[in-house]
Every structure is written in structure tokens, then in C-alpha cells.
Amino acid sequence: MPRAEEQKAAESNRAPRAGLRLMIIIVVAMALLAIYANVQKSRRNEIEKVRIIPIATPPPASPTPAD
């Protein structure tokens, strides 16, 4: 009977299967997110274009003499 007790103790020390599946899902999701972020970072120059157009400043108003 000690063999059955050892097997029962070994089973109680294992992590639950649902917990392991959840951890695997989280790790896969984080890996996919990292891959997506790196792809977007490499495509940034194609996606973002910045054009700076200076605004025309009106000429300064000349002071009018006070009469």
C-alpha cells in the first residue's frame, strides 16, 4: 500500500491542468503580442509620415502715430 500513498501524494503535488492551460494561453498571447509589436515597429517608417508646413506669419503692424 505504500505505493498507492506515494502516487496519491505525487498527484496532490501537481498543478491543476486548468491552471497549466491558462498559463500556456497567457504565454502564447504575450508571444503573439510581442511579435505584433515588433512587426509594427519595423513598419513604422512606412506607416507614419510627418510633413511640417510652416505657417505664414502676418507682417508686424506698423505703429500708428497717436494724434
How many separate domains does the chain show?
Answer: 1
Please indicate, yes or no, if residue 39 is contained in any of the structural domains.
yes
Domain that holds residue 32: 15-43
**Ramachandran angles phi, psi of 14, nearest 5°:** -75, 150
How far apart, in whole angstroms, are the C-alpha atoms of residue 23 and residue 29? 10
Is the per-residue pLDDT at 19 higher than 90?
A: yes
Q: State which amino acid sits at residue 54.
A: P
Whether pTM > 0.85 for this model: the answer is no
Please indicate, yes or no, if residue 36 is contained in any of the structural domains.
yes
Is the per-residue pLDDT at 66 higher than 70?
A: no
How far apart, in whole angstroms, are the C-alpha atoms of residue 47 and residue 39? 12
> Which cell numbers hold the place of 25?
494561453
How far apart, in whole angstroms, are the C-alpha atoms of residue 28 and residue 26? 6
Please indicate, yes or no, if residue 8 is contained in any of the structural domains.
no
At 45, the pLDDT band (50, 70, 90 cuts) reads confident
